[in-house]
A = this chain, B = another copy of it.
Amino acid sequence: MKNRNPVVHKLLESFVQFHKLNWKQSPMVSLKSSEIMVLFSIKKLMNPDTPGIKMSDISNALRVASPTITQLINSLETNGFVERTMDKEDRRAVRVKLTDKGEGAIEKASESFYEAFNGLAEFLGEENSNLLADLLSQTFTYFEKRKKEIF
């Protein structure tokens, strides 16, 4: 990394630092942050005229392998945050929906996420917040493209 473009070095340093950041801090003592992410994505995908979300849809939404979702849903189900039901049209599929407890949990989590990120948005200022979000998305695009090109 020697005597090269200092911007590059600065970028790398900030990435390292940022990466350590635990911004996903679970506000619910009883839920891991991966579980909260699952609840969020169920909430987001859910619509009133379906009996629940398919495992594979959660897996796609979170870009996580399906056995991972199985495990997370197992734990969420045994703790009463979600319910599994059989899909009547496709008996291979499983439909998952939030219980009232689940709804309550994401209500709280949502509150606390909002508070944290609202604080950040205030701290950075609206313009910078927008900029940051855009730059992060661009960075994501860059690395995804790069990955495809290399392999």
User: Do A11 and B146 touch (CB < 8 A)?
Assistant: no
Contact with B along A107-151 (1 / 0, CB 8 A): 000100110111111011010111111111111101110110000
B residues near A37, Cβ cutoff 8 Å: 16
Q: How far is the CA of A111 from the CA of B132 in the complex (A)?
A: 27
Contact A5/B139 with A11-B129, A11-B133, A131-B131 known, Cβ cut-off 8 Å? no
Q: Give chain A interface residues in 1-42, CB to chain B under 8 Å.
A: 1, 4-5, 7-8, 10-25, 37
**Band of interface residues on A:** 35 or more
User: Does A88 sit within 8 A of B, measured CB to CB?
Assistant: no
Chain B, Cβ-Cβ closest to A113: B12
| Contact flag A121-B21 (CB < 8 Å), given A1-B110, A135-B132, A139-B132 | no
Q: Judge whether A63 is part of the interface by a CB distance below 8 angstroms.
A: yes
CA gap between A49 and B21 in the complex, in Å = 34
